[in-house]
Structure 1
């Protein structure tokens, strides 16, 4: 666990942030109810809770985007600025979101000082801009070149640039919202080291994550929200993981996902997915087979090529060599329509950009791949679509007002269940899941992985691409990719240390 920066003698210091009795209501929905929070100087304070617990609403008020209905916010003991004064808010607090706010086509320097570039005779002073950007990056020991295009940066580097931009306004309190969602193991370790260094230099963090182990690795204090209420604030070292999960869910008991270690090997089941000598931009000579009723995992670092292999099987990205067969039928490269017709469905990596049409309803999203089942001559009959949507919502446990509700109004966990519903709507033979539990809470993760176990029992073949160890436990076999090639294979019952070592390239021994 990260060590506190604040010394015992400073325990009575004024909080960097103090929220007192914050409440917010949208129509008949109480989004936040009498929530209080204090974040002390120099600490990393975790904020956790299930999707829909009120975290996003609280953050929107702590960053000046929304006015609370009741309650007050103080920074360093002083009342927060009016919501209308966004410039004043930036001097107190900034949020680095899971989905980057960096403008990809601009340089690092342009992003750091966007809309406040130094001027000379009414024109942008490019020399001064680059000089000030270099000074800012050096002062916070961020090793990124100021002239690089933001689109060419790694996710990790973009996050550090966002932190530097926030610090340049004078803010010393940073909210990190799911910062590790798109990072692999080494990148996470580097980010945590930078956070700890920034803490030692007087920066305070509010850390939001669904990865509970990260709370124990980085944070000193944890606050739990549930059902829009404050449940508990505790030193991390005094909150065992079982107690933390119970506080988040309101339920005692084991919420661990199912484990495939006790299953009998499927030696006689027919092969449904056959991938032979597949190559692409970031992978080469990948071969694998998945039998009916089998779950095969692919894991590896972000740069290993694992995601591209999953996307090729789903028809989202064409391979450059090799072939994919579904029950003996050759799949056309990079053709989603052919993949669907052949019996392949996919839960893609990014639900916001690839998995959902946020402005449409749950029913429209869940059934968009099966219009031929809902009407004739291009017309979709409302009643069949409503019935199918309601059935899928019930089977997946989607919590919503009804199938007509827009998916944009759902929590992250329920949005992901809608993506899963769409993937299952055409009753596929092969289900491709790419990071299926990213950005969802512990109970939604359990529900989604239970679906994987259910479709396996129905005889479907599942290809699960993920770096999450809990996701991979449902797999009968796990293939590890390193630098674009399969380097190891593990059967169910693998040890965490052995799998992680292979992912990081420490050992390439097959298991």
Structure 2
């Protein structure tokens, strides 16, 4: 007997998406069968978010086709038709926090009574019916902001299902959940699958793929790489598909190792917050330590704590033996911390000011006395920073808003180095810059190390982490692995994706 041909619930073929000169997706494809949980995996920048935007009708593909249950996708403008096909539950809530669960479930389609006014009794009854249909145990009257993350996610899933969608995309759904909550989510997913719901499951934690999914699709470098039954793909093979060809060359280790007797600059003990738990780490003078992990690992929040941007709920940190101030950027700067923050536009630069003003903002006290700043000294100091960092600008007086992304990031780096910090915290220092600027920024990191500065670098870019003396990997807020210089790509990726630990 021949096996009956099953029409895919969702089929994407030959998807290409460009943003100006950048090709975000060049060969996207996906085939999801009815009733399965299908994993979509790939490293940051692999094209997952772009494919999701196309699958949910938020953006049109430049080339390629999308079909639902064998039928062409609706026109982009027909949002109601898209809602009946597909919904995405993102890490960030799409519900209105101040409204009740019932109001969120039936937003823009509230039942009305006489005179066109909302019938609150019917609203609550219909919401309760939706929740009961999908076995979601949440009070319809509850304020959505008061819900736990897992319950909020289930409300979003129930809302999507109430429109008629049977294809639900879960984008990093476990990033903010603890182990018990994750297990409860998976139990609910399995029950919904039995009711005819199909999931696309996006996660950086590969062991979850093996727990809850039947099929996996891998994207890499904006291309489709493979689709296979999860049971047929070993974890090593999955990591290899995500990492690309396993190259034999190891990370550059030509420079001298940090001396064992080099004094400790930064020492943290038991640091704890909502994002990380029980962190112990140290960084010596003249050492570069990397922090790696997926988007929900807590790595950025940890680095921001050392830079004075956050306050932990427990634990201590000392810089050269003195307590490090938390939650106060100016105090951290005074204690000897320089920082390149994660978002140069929001946190790093003052757009209305010049290159010189931005570069010297952290050292104004040194450039004048009694509150008067010597204009000439400031210009000379700024010009020296521009030269040292190879910033392509007309001079210190050029508005920083006129600079390219790479040169703007160099200004942020210049300001971090201007104060001669003892600890330099770099958060995604090369994100969104061109190759030449990236090399220039990393060279500054190297020279800071040679000057005896302790450097802590957080990055999703393997090339940034290759310059580190060692890399610490965070997973669900805890340090789970340490890789000395010379790691293979697939070793580090396996740690980041949670393959080689419980």
Instruction: Please indicate the TM-score interval, normalised by the length of the shorter structure.
Output: 0.5 to 0.7
Matching residue of 1:453: 469
Return the alpha-carbon distance in structure 2 between the equivalents of residues 26 and 317 of structure 1: 34
User: Cα offset for 1:74?
Assistant: 1.4
Question: SS of the residue aligned with 1:179?
Answer: coil
Matching residue of 2:417: none
User: Against the structure 1 CA distance between its residues 277 and 406, is the aligned structure 2 distance closer, same or farther, given a 3 Å change threshold?
Assistant: closer
1:85 equivalent to 2:78? Answer: yes
User: Cα offset for 1:108?
Assistant: 1.9
1:158 equivalent to 2:167? Answer: no
TM-superposition CA deviations, 1:322-374 (whole Å, max 9, x none): 975422444445311111231335788xx57x99559999xx99x97864479
Matching residue of 2:371: none
Which of 207-216 and 288-297 deviates more?
A: 288-297
1:105 equivalent to 2:98? Answer: yes
Of 170, 186, 190, the residue aligned with 1:176 is 170
TM-score where L is the length of structure 1:
0.66
Return the alpha-carbon distance in structure 1 between the equivalents of residues 239 and 276 of structure 2: 38
1:388 equivalent to 2:389? Answer: yes
1:315 equivalent to 2:308? Answer: yes
Matching residue of 2:284: 292
Of 115, 130, 133, the residue aligned with 2:108 is 115
Question: SS of the residue aligned with 2:151?
Answer: helix
Return the alpha-carbon distance in structure 2 between the equivalents of residues 288 and 254 of structure 1: 32
How many matched pairs? 429
TM-superposition CA deviations, 1:131-170 (whole Å, max 9, x none): 2222222222222222222222222222222111111111
User: Against the structure 1 CA distance between its residues 108 and 389, is the aligned structure 2 distance closer, same or farther, given a 3 Å change threshold?
Assistant: farther
User: Against the structure 1 CA distance between its residues 347 and 310, is the aligned structure 2 distance closer, same or farther, given a 3 Å change threshold?
Assistant: same
Matching residue of 2:36: 43
Return the alpha-carbon distance in structure 1 between the equivalents of residues 62 and 9 of structure 2: 22
Matching residue of 1:245: 239
User: Against the structure 1 CA distance between its residues 29 and 472, is the aligned structure 2 distance closer, same or farther, given a 3 Å change threshold?
Assistant: same
Question: SS of the residue aligned with 1:124?
Answer: coil
TM-superposition CA deviations, 1:23-52 (whole Å, max 9, x none): 333333333335332100111111222333
Tell me, yes or no, if the aligned pair for 2:340 and 2:348 is still in contact at 8 Å. Answer: no
Tell me, yes or no, if the aligned pair for 1:98 and 1:181 is still in contact at 8 Å. Answer: yes
User: Against the structure 1 CA distance between its residues 322 and 83, is the aligned structure 2 distance closer, same or farther, given a 3 Å change threshold?
Assistant: closer
Matching residue of 2:327: 334
Return the alpha-carbon distance in structure 2 between the equivalents of residues 471 and 451 of structure 1: 20
Matching residue of 2:476: 467
User: Cα offset for 1:425?
Assistant: 11
Matching residue of 2:17: 24
Larger Rg: 2
1:198 equivalent to 2:192? Answer: yes
User: Against the structure 1 CA distance between its residues 101 and 359, is the aligned structure 2 distance closer, same or farther, given a 3 Å change threshold?
Assistant: farther
User: Cα offset for 1:416?
Assistant: 3.3
1:403 equivalent to 2:397? Answer: no
Aligned runs of 1:405-420 on 2, under 5 Å?
416-418=428-430
User: Against the structure 1 CA distance between its residues 382 and 170, is the aligned structure 2 distance closer, same or farther, given a 3 Å change threshold?
Assistant: farther
Question: SS of the residue aligned with 1:119?
Answer: coil
Matching residue of 1:505: none
User: Cα offset for 1:317?
Assistant: 4.1
Aligned runs of 1:427-446 on 2, under 5 Å?
444=461, 446=462
Question: SS of the residue aligned with 1:83?
Answer: coil
TM-score where L is the length of structure 2:
0.67
Matching residue of 1:140: 134
User: Against the structure 1 CA distance between its residues 453 and 109, is the aligned structure 2 distance closer, same or farther, given a 3 Å change threshold?
Assistant: farther
Question: SS of the residue aligned with 2:59?
Answer: coil
Question: SS of the residue aligned with 1:251?
Answer: coil
Return the alpha-carbon distance in structure 2 between the equivalents of residues 370 and 474 of structure 1: 36
Tell me, yes or no, if the aligned pair for 2:272 and 2:279 is still in contact at 8 Å. Answer: no
Unaligned runs of 5+ in 2: 368-373, 393-403, 411-425, 432-437, 485-497
Tell me, yes or no, if the aligned pair for 2:102 and 2:140 is still in contact at 8 Å. Answer: yes
Question: SS of the residue aligned with 2:428?
Answer: helix
User: Against the structure 1 CA distance between its residues 146 and 344, is the aligned structure 2 distance closer, same or farther, given a 3 Å change threshold?
Assistant: farther
Return the alpha-carbon distance in structure 1 between the equivalents of residues 391 and 181 of structure 2: 41
Question: SS of the residue aligned with 1:151?
Answer: helix
Matching residue of 2:414: none
